[in-house]
Amino acid sequence: MQLRKLFQSSVCALALSIAMPSQAQSTFKLPDLGTSAVQVLPIDKEKAIGEIMMMQIRSGSKLVQDPVLDEYLSTLGNKLVANANDVRFPFSFFWIDNKDINAFAFYGGHVGVHTGLMAQADNESQFASVLGHEIAHVTQRHLARRIQQAKDNSALTIAGMITGILATVIAPDAGMAILSASSTQSALSQLTHSRKAEQEADRFGMQTLYNAGFDPHASSEFLSKLAAQVRFKNKAPVFLMSHPLPDSRVSDVRLRAQQYEQRYVPKSHQFQLAKSRVIARYQLEGESAQAYFEQALKHSSDLDKSALEYGLAITYLDQKKLDQAQTVMDKLLSAEPNNLFYLDVYTDLLLAKKDYNGITKLLGEKHQLRPNNQVITLNYANVALKSEQYELAEQLLKVFLLEKPDHVLARQLLTDTYKKMDAKASYHESQASLLSHYGAFMRAADEIQKALNHVEKDETVRRLRLKALLSQYRDMQKELAKL
């Protein structure tokens, strides 16, 4: 779905006007952490800290809002979580548009993955090994232990520590600079996982990887690949700045993998498609991307040829070479008519050709078979919006948001739909919800006040609900101001 430019421009506009980011919640309460009295970090407080950090990431980072990649990552991530030990709460997985090799996890089960990690992984087991490692950091509560270890350090506040960890896991260079400039060496030591924590994450992550049906030897393969980059580059991969890699670690992981039986894992078609999409959309662009896939196709095996053709079709589409893209996509979709990767690009192709009837018919049929699937539903709603079928778009998005109320892209589409419909009360309410995802609670409250100005006098229930939201947003702003 080619909504990236629309979404990113909206986010940039929001970020300029937001002092403290957040997400919309029906209830919101900051944990009373203090600065030196934390003996044990309870699960509810850990989740609250995670929400605060996710708020900041949503406002300040270049997130990838791509339903197809989200679907792939969430499916893979939750498969690993289902096979992990000590899981205390649901996990959420998200992409960051960044070419560096990196992944990170933090309080409350949030796992961020750079697109560069997917581009550099050779197979799904390697990619999954990193996710399993990050999941283990959460389940073993390594970050929670950092707060406990810092409780007696008067120079390090809890709020400062959250900020430092957040900066470090996303941009280690910046994070190190922030903490080294304003804190002690003791505080600085909190920013990287200890050797013991890495060993634990390696051990539990490998067990999770094996339980989920992947090759445990992939862990040592990927670490060896990173170690090679350290030898041949002046700057180490970002992942290694927050995940230390002493010489012994690769050997330890290799020896641990030998304790598991050798496992053959067939190539994952979904992984290959996701990798092609990442390379075409987030690593390379234009003629460079096209040349990459054309060259790769000359040397490919039959197993990954369709994935490379898919990547090539994306490059054709992005360069407005619509006829060439159509030739490739007709072939691919004919072979796999229900493939979500193909349906998404085919939707973009027909939208580019303004063939609204054709894509509405196709997606309507697919939606009946897979109602509320995010790839099909959001594409279908986007087509309905562009073809001025506003009531259809509204219906699709409202039902979808009942299941996934925090889905920002769906909320953006619904806000745009209400604007096109000139439904002023609904537009301002939806805009308030969208703003609250980024922590602009005062602006969200202003939008609710505007919505109230457009509610009819006889809409008593709606008026009461909006007044309750107005009070809620103001309370949220007060809670955030406590930090």
State the pairing for strand pair 103-106/110-114.
Answer: antiparallel
Q: What is the pLDDT of residue 302?
A: 61
Q: Compute the C-alpha angle 464/467/468, nearest 5°.
A: 90
* DSSP classification of residue 268: P
Q: Are strands 92-96 and 103-106 parallel, antiparallel or unpaired?
A: unpaired
The Cα–Cα gap between 92 and 116 comes to 19
In order of 100, 181, 209, 239, the CA distances from 226 in angstroms are 12, 29, 19, 9
- Residue 202 designated active-site: yes
* Nearby residues of 82 by Cβ (< 8 Å), 6 or more positions away: 212
Residues 54, 51: Cα–Cα separation, whole Å: 5
- How far is it, in rounded angstroms, from Cα 408 to Cα 293? 32
DSSP 137-169: HHHTTHHHHHHHHTTT-TT--HHHHHHHHHHHH
What's the token pair of residue 324?
A: 């060439």
303 DSSP 8-state letter: T
Tell me how far apart the terminal alpha carbons of the chain are, to the nearest angstrom: 38
Kindly report the CATH number that applies to the domain delimited by 365-483: 1.25.40
What is the pLDDT, as a whole number, of residue 483? 61
**Residue 433 CB: number of other CB atoms within 10 A?**
21
Strand partners, 92: 110
Instruction: Pick the closest to residue 445 from 58, 22, 49 (CA basis).
Output: 22
Instruction: Supply 443's token pair.
Output: 């602006």
Q: What's the pLDDT at 62?
A: 86
Would you give the distance in Å from CA 456 to the centre of its chain? 39
Distances (CA, A) of 80 to 136, 211, 373: 10, 8, 21
Q: Which residues are annotated as a binding site for Zn(2+)?
A: 133, 137, 198
pLDDT at 188: 36
Consecutive H or E run containing 220: helix 217-232
Minimal CA–CA distance to 30: which of 463, 439, 447? Answer: 439
Low-confidence ranges of the chain (pLDDT < 70): 1-40, 146-195, 229-248, 301-303, 483
Which parts are annotated binding residues?
133, 137, 198
pLDDT reported for residue 187: 37
Q: Which amino acid, residue 238? A: V
Q: Which of 51, 97, 100, 134 is catalytic?
A: 134
Give the pair of three-digit tokens for residue 82.
Answer: 């289902």
Rounded CA gap, 131 and 113, in Å?
8
Model-level pTM?
Answer: 0.84
**Tokens encoding 280:** 């075409």
* Residue 19: predicted pLDDT: 35
- Whether 422 is catalytic is no
Q: Which of 202, 221, 394, 429 is catalytic?
A: 202
Quote the CA–CA distance of 70 and 255 in Å, as a whole number: 34
